[in-house]
Structure 1
């Protein structure tokens, strides 16, 4: 048995060495938000050392990954406004944290296999390099302070247009938010892709790849689950305290929620998700639009959070996602507190940034 495992590990390492190494570059904007979050927690913790009661450091409170890269203008905003840019939450109700076990894990594997099969039966029109992937979503996010409890903000709608150009770009697309809880409502804001770390200023941006997924790049990925799993574990980066399994689970969720890809590739992602240790099924989950479905979730033990994908129980279409803090934030807080939720309402392909599908159809 040990010899078999050593052989399997050697095979995986051999495949990983054949993969192109991801370019060295700055962390994506969502990871910068994570580090800012941890810094603010440390400052708050140090300032409380003179309190009458002993201070215990709360669990790391990670901001959820945005569904798209954040625009530079939004990154300049602080505190609660930054929090509203995360994928949002429904009513703020807490839910019991599911426990990993043989039944839940077995059910998750069965459900993900069914979802993969359903994905293969769908249609996807290829996207040209000069087009944009349009995604319209509804969300609510945490507006609570760093030292206080979770506070779910007002709902807002977000539209995003992601460029499909395979060449390095500085501007990856654009987005617009509307609604009571929207940051900078109604403005078409650029989504900054960033630049490769160490590159001279003005020399280029981020090419198509795992940090800027395009239809063509997704279509180029292996559809064999084992090969795709190796690639994802090799190219998905983690931040301090984050488990590799959780980072890969979150990356798969980002790719499935916010892109258009060939059915075979989508099916392969779901099959990889089924192999991640700790993935379990949630019998009932609700997205930001109030739609009930079946959930697939994984706890990130490093951050005491868990992300949850929500699927229609009949069509098995991906509806949206939720994010939870999986430990008490302050004394008296419930375990597993909802702090963000999103619902995908529409996906389409358009010819230019800012174009709405209905208008494009004439």
Structure 2
């Protein structure tokens, strides 16, 4: 797939160099995708730190999950045998609005596990912010990446480097994602080790325990929201997220049922999950291809589209 005519590698690299922000306080390992980081972060035009360089301002993240599997749970939990005469009315059935937050995520795990593996040539991610700004990414199965952003017009531009994917700020290939553990405890342990080995730092030095826990959490969320994880891995990630202590069902919202996940007193997350596919359609944060974070502004969110496709726009 060729990028736009009359744009040589030198032209693209020169344009990327002009877009590099002057100072970035977040440090990544020296072997990270430096050019890719500069490219993506310049598109954001704001310095979004991923770790605590100073006392952080936490933003809520809404997880919306209208899930078909919840109906199955409701049938089991809400329809029970009753004593007494046959005139007694049946107890009310539970719906996605009355299920607990963890039960909604466990229902998502059940649905995800039953879905087929995706097929296609490119893994496609589209993000649209509240103000309508759009970024699109295509990744082939070897990790090569293309981007379409407001800066580069309608045609996708090839990344100067093979970007691959990141989990917990750690470089991974598609094959590694396919081979991730399929039990929640083992998957969380894998992501924890990935964060510890990633070398990610903030301006104050290595991450503290809270910083590492935060990136493990983001890594698990990215496995259900952005990455081409196979069904059993997505199911394990949903189960691992359900095990967090503060998962709250916020009731029906546009496109699903709201969940709020509180990691710390000052860190909350929200998502919107498709009822039939369990795909996350909206989030208050996304993990960038090089491992950084883009956080939605106060009261905002980011619309997400992820799928396998055979088409790379010309």
Q: Aligned partners of 2:220 and 2:155: how far apart in 1?
A: 29
TM-score w.r.t. structure 2 length? 0.56
Q: Confirm or deny that 1:118 pairs with 2:111.
A: yes
Q: Aligned partners of 1:269 and 1:185: how far apart in 2?
A: 36
Cα drift, residue 295 of structure 1: 3.1
Cα drift, residue 272 of structure 1: 1.1
Q: Aligned partners of 1:276 and 1:176: how far apart in 2?
A: 36
Match of 1:225 in 2: 184
Give 2:305's match in structure 1, choosing from 345, 355, 360: 345
RMSD, matched Cα: 4.3
Q: Aligned partners of 1:96 and 1:158: how far apart in 2?
A: 20
Q: Aligned partners of 2:223 and 2:60: how far apart in 1?
A: 26
Q: Aligned partners of 2:228 and 2:163: how far apart in 1?
A: 19
Cα deviation, 1:157-201, whole Å, max 9, x if unaligned, reads: 3221123327xxxxx412112xxxx444435344466xxxxxxxx
Cα drift, residue 227 of structure 1: 1.3
Q: Report which stretch shifted further, 247-256 or 107-116.
A: 247-256
Cα drift, residue 284 of structure 1: 4.2
SS state at 2:117 partner: coil
Distance 1:176 1:251, change over 3 A: same
Long gaps (5+) in structure 1: 1-32, 40-68, 87-93, 99-103, 141-153, 167-171, 194-204, 286-290, 324-335
Match of 1:307 in 2: 269
Match of 2:227 in 1: 259
Give 2:255's match in structure 1, choosing from 284, 292, 295: 292
TM-score w.r.t. structure 1 length? 0.50
Q: Which has the higher contact order (CA 8 A, sep 6+)?
A: 2
Give 2:244's match in structure 1, choosing from 259, 264, 276: 276
User: 1:108–1:274: 8 Å Cα contact kept in structure 2?
Assistant: yes
Q: Aligned partners of 1:158 and 1:175: how far apart in 2?
A: 7
Match of 2:127 in 1: 137
Q: Aligned partners of 1:298 and 1:192: how far apart in 2?
A: 37
Aligned length: 224
Distance 1:134 1:231, change over 3 A: same
Q: Aligned partners of 1:243 and 1:300: how far apart in 2?
A: 11
SS state at 1:338 partner: coil
Q: Aligned partners of 2:122 and 2:276: how far apart in 1?
A: 30
SS state at 1:116 partner: helix
Cα drift, residue 116 of structure 1: 0.3
User: 1:253–1:309: 8 Å Cα contact kept in structure 2?
Assistant: no
Matched ranges for 1:76-115 at <5 A: 76=42, 81-82=45-46, 107-115=100-108
